Amino acid sequence: MAVRVSSKIWRDYLYNKVKSGGFGATRHWSSAAQTPTAPPPKKIPHSSKKGRLFTGAAIGLLIAGGAYVSTVDEATFCGWLFSATKLVNPFFALLDAEVAHRLAVSAAARGLVPREKRPDPSILGLEVWGRKFSNPVGLAAGFDKNAEAVEGLLGLGFGFVEVGSVTPVPQEGNPKPRIFRLRHEGAIINRCGFNSEGIFAVAKRLGIQHGKRKLAETSSTSSSSKDEVKHGGKAGPGILGVNLGKNKTSEDAAADYVQGVHSLSQYADYLVINVSSPNTPGLRKLQGRKQLKDLVKKVQGARDEMQWGEEGPPPLLVKIAPDLSKEDLEDIAAVSLALRLDGLIISNTTISRPDSVRQNPVAEESGGLSGKPLFNLSTNMLKEMYVLTRGRIPLIGCGGISSGEDAYKKIRAGATLVQLYTQFAYEGPALIPQIKMTFSFVHYL
């Protein structure tokens, strides 16, 4: 009874309050819905003391901020932009790994990523295969599989970007989910299985970009100063690698790679035969002595039959797995030397699960492991291959690079250039200037 009385008193109180306008804006919303002629909501007039103060403070802040930013040089501003990208990392971390990846590629394709305006220190510049790299740090294959974002990614300050793997015929790849994060270990397991839009879609895209890059090169050469390291490949600033794969159902692997050469080599500063993905059945067998020899001969033949201008055909590299025995490595080194291969990429992802990831249940997912736990395995292989090839073939060190020190260790192990993927996926654009800065510092010491 007492409860009923008190609830009636409370209801009456609320009713009177609403009727008398005691709840301010609430009254206007409700009455506005009923009568269109209701008076407008009460606003803080600009002429009031509070309003004037607020407007004045906002304008003052804007002017002061603008004046400060205008005094900041381009390099500092660029540094701010790169650092600011770290703010979106927690948001990306909340998304499914493949969705986050798609978003990142779209952002880079639309130019929604910072552009590196600070020239690379000349100490980082180098010439490989007759091409000038402004720095030796590249983006590994698999990030931009369909060449959607080459300009945006090169603009982040990578010395080179490798697109692909591209298969002749479009294919979906393995069912999703197929990319798994091992965040604490700084690693990823993927079993993408060469999801690719195919060589024609990629050729079309690269054809359009090719024209644009040529224009960019023309305008940049006219304004570049003498002591600046001139960088760029055949089609413009920045070096572009094209990584070729084979279709899952294809019986003739060599024919697939040859198709890739015919359609894409004209756009590439270098080509890669990828025979090391663990997610395409039988692919890794192509690393065997005889298979590799036959394959490389056919692909080299196809490339050399094409008509090339003054700069000649693009160099041909082979990307190998980190799970090879000493004998496998000896075979690959022998084939590479005998056929004068232009380079090797060491390495792709591993099917092994090092101790550092075993306690994570995600480690049980099948696929190739990349990132920090791959560093030692791939760097040791790099060292061995450098010795086996007697330093005669440029090697690209890839696997587990997460800092400038790591990049430098790869160079010390025998790499001419380095590439990364996983740590870039975790840290985003801010990692690139960071790696280059530490690398040039360690290099200089």
How is the chain split among helix, strand and coil, in percent rounded to 5? Answer: 50, 15, 35
348 contacts ligand FMN (rule: CB under 6 A): yes
Alpha-carbon distance of 412 to 289, in angstroms, equals 28
Alpha-carbon distance of 261 to 268, in angstroms, equals 9
Report, in Å, the least distance between residue 275 CB and ligand FMN.
9
Look up residue 142 and give its two tokens. 């698999």
Look up residue 139 and give its two tokens. 């983006």
String of contacts with ligand FMN for each residue 166-205, x by CB under 6 A? -------------x--------x-x-x-------------
**320 strand-pairing partners:** 346
Choice from 173, 198, 238, 400 touching ligand FMN (CB under 6 A): 400
Q: How far is CA 330 from the centre of its chain?
A: 32
420 contacts ligand FMN (rule: CB under 6 A): yes
Tell me which of 265, 277, 347, 370 is the catalytic residue. 277
Alpha-carbon distance of 334 to 323, in angstroms, equals 18
Other beta carbons within 10 angstroms of residue 269's beta carbon come to 25
By C-beta, is 300 or 349 nearer to ligand FMN? Answer: 349
145 contacts ligand FMN (rule: CB under 6 A): yes
Choice from 243, 300, 389, 440 touching ligand FMN (CB under 6 A): 243
**Contact between 336 and 388 (Cβ < 8 Å):** no
Alpha-carbon distance of 301 to 125, in angstroms, equals 32
Report, in Å, the least distance between residue 165 CB and ligand FMN.
4
Q: Which stretch binds ligand FMN (CB under 6 A): 52-60, 122-130, 415-423, 428-436?
A: 415-423
Number of residues that bind ligand FMN (CB under 6 A): 26
259 contacts ligand FMN (rule: CB under 6 A): no
230 phi and psi, to 5 degrees? -85, 125
379 contacts ligand FMN (rule: CB under 6 A): no
Question: Does residue 48 carry a catalytic annotation?
Answer: no
Other beta carbons within 10 angstroms of residue 235's beta carbon come to 22
Which residue minimizes CB distance to ligand FMN?
Answer: 142
Q: Which stretch binds ligand FMN (CB under 6 A): 57-65, 326-334, 384-392, 395-403?
A: 395-403
DSSP per-residue string spanning 234-261: TTBSSEEEEEE---TT-S-HHHHHHHHH
165 contacts ligand FMN (rule: CB under 6 A): yes
142 contacts ligand FMN (rule: CB under 6 A): yes
Q: Which are the catalytic amino acids?
A: 277
Which stretches of the chain bind ligand FMN, using CB under 6 A? Answer: 140-142, 145, 164-165, 179, 188, 190, 192, 243, 274, 277, 319, 348-349, 370-371, 374, 398-401, 420-422
